[in-house]
Amino acid sequence: LSTGRGKWTPEYPELGTGPVSYQDAVSPEFFDDEQAAVFKRWWLYVGRAERLPRKGSYFTRELGSLGSIVIVRDLDGALQAFRNVCAHRGNKVVWQEYPDRETSGPCRAFHCKYHGWQYGLDGKVTHVTGQEHFFDLDVSKLGMPAVHVDEVGGFIFVNFGDQPEPLREFLGDKVVPHMEQYPFHLMTQRYGFTAHVNGNWKLAANTIQEWYHPAYVHQKFIAPDVSQAEQMVPPTDAYYYELWDKHFINSVPGPPPLRAKKPEGVGPAQRNMIWVYKLFRGGLFGPDDVADIGELPECLNPGDIASWGNDQFWLLPNTSLQIWARNYYITYTYWPVDVDSHRYEIDMFFVPPKNASERLAQEIVVNSTIEVAMQDVNTVEATHSGVKHGGLGEFHLSDQELMIRKFHHTIDGAVADYRATKNGATS
């Protein structure tokens, strides 16, 4: 797979090649400004349109430091989004048995469990219990605070800003064609996973923004010993990168699907992942029996890399969309809770399985992906502790870590611009 291409980083001189600071991952002051400059101004991916199949369908999202929101398809079929808070006493309006868990379903109105206030699907108050006991209450002005919402290619985004730029402009003409041309709508078999991680959200994103670590962090999935694993990871020049204003793409090589299973099976049981992958006909790169989703759009694999495995889009600030060669896709999302922790989400989408064999193949892909993610999480918590307490101010990045350099450069730049504006306004 080696191409002899050479280094990528010098092609983006604005990023530099020197050491980088990770103070943006441990500074409480930076976290506060990052919330204001980025998370309360940029578009944030929150879910797929398939979750709202009909009028009255809704789902809630718990977005870490941003709180809880409700996304609903109203009675006119339009998308609406609101902060999940009651105008009476601030109670969370939409929840089931446990207030901190997300929920979904159909409804024609939302009812607050605390005192029975009712809200229409437009977020406005439609009933106040014992309204005659209040003082000068103008119900027409009351409701759950609205949040900007829009979708592209079935991907739903929200924006907490006052006057955000249009979603399509925010995503850009490099990203939108992929979102509109790829048949995401065929992949409705969803497997979701969520974890609370004790580490800054940016350090978690960094774990899948480079291909320097797999032979060490994920060695048992690759080969019996480290030296073999090092040989099996594709060479550094086998990947493709393209960086834009806010977002970027990385195309990754991958192994071809296994051949059809022989009649005699896979042989005696062995305690290694290769044997398990052969048994279930699935692995880290997807099912070996690839689902038919029709002709694929030409925009995939823009770098024309050999043995293509996936295209990994980074939709800043906090989402990675991975389109895999074996006809499924994954979203990774990182929701900051505070400077030292975040909510980590993985959603995997497949064409619905036609039989038990296909279902088992999907589940081994899911379980393998989650196991690898948890190995990364261990590294996140160790990295966060080291950066916060280790006494080092700068760290060195290789060409393989180009996306990490770009990621921090973009977030740090947005915060710097915000601070300049804020300081100018107060001077």
Q: Are 384 and 25 in contact (CB under 8 A)?
A: yes
Report how far apart, in Å, the C-alpha atoms of 7 and of each of 11, 18, 237, 302, 408 are: 8, 15, 8, 18, 19
Spatial separation of the C-alpha atoms in residues 202 and 316, rounded to whole Å: 11
Q: Could you count the other beta carbons within 10 Å of the beta carbon of residue 301? A: 18
CA dihedral (331, 81, 28, 317) positive or negative: positive
Task: Identify whether 317 is preceded by a cis peptide bond (ω within 30 of 0).
Answer: yes
Residue among 347, 205, 373, 204 nearest 284 (CA):
373
**Within the chain, which residues score under 70 in pLDDT?**
264, 426-427
DSSP 392: -
Taking only the tens place, the pLDDT of each residue in 131-174 is 999 999 999 999 999 999 999 999 999 999 999 999 999 999 99
Residue among 161, 405, 205 nearest 315 (CA):
205
Give residue for tokens 């296994």. Answer: 258
Spatial separation of the C-alpha atoms in residues 375 and 354, rounded to whole Å: 31
Tell me the H-state helices in 213-325: 214-217, 219-222, 226-232, 273-280
Spatial separation of the C-alpha atoms in residues 112 and 99, rounded to whole Å: 12
pLDDT at 427: 60
What are residue 327's phi and psi, to 5 degrees? Answer: 65, 50
Q: Are 210 and 218 in contact (CB under 8 A)?
A: no
Residue among 378, 43, 23, 95 nearest 216 (CA):
378
Enumerate the β-bridge partners of residue 264. Answer: none
Tell me the H-state helices in 75-225: 167-171, 176-181, 201-206, 214-217, 219-222
Spatial separation of the C-alpha atoms in residues 302 and 311, rounded to whole Å: 9
| Beta-carbon contacts of residue 304 (< 8 Å; ≥ 6 apart) | 240
Spatial separation of the C-alpha atoms in residues 107 and 364, rounded to whole Å: 35
Give residue for tokens 């430091």. Answer: 65
Q: Are 246 and 239 in contact (CB under 8 A)?
A: no
Kindly give the pairing relationship between strand 248-253 and strand 155-159. Answer: unpaired
pLDDT at 38: 98
Residue among 299, 304, 301, 326 nearest 312 (CA):
301
| Beta-carbon contacts of residue 164 (< 8 Å; ≥ 6 apart) | 41, 42, 43, 148, 170
| Beta-carbon contacts of residue 400 (< 8 Å; ≥ 6 apart) | 210, 211, 212, 236
Burial of 13 (0-12, 13-18, 19+ CB in 10 A): exposed
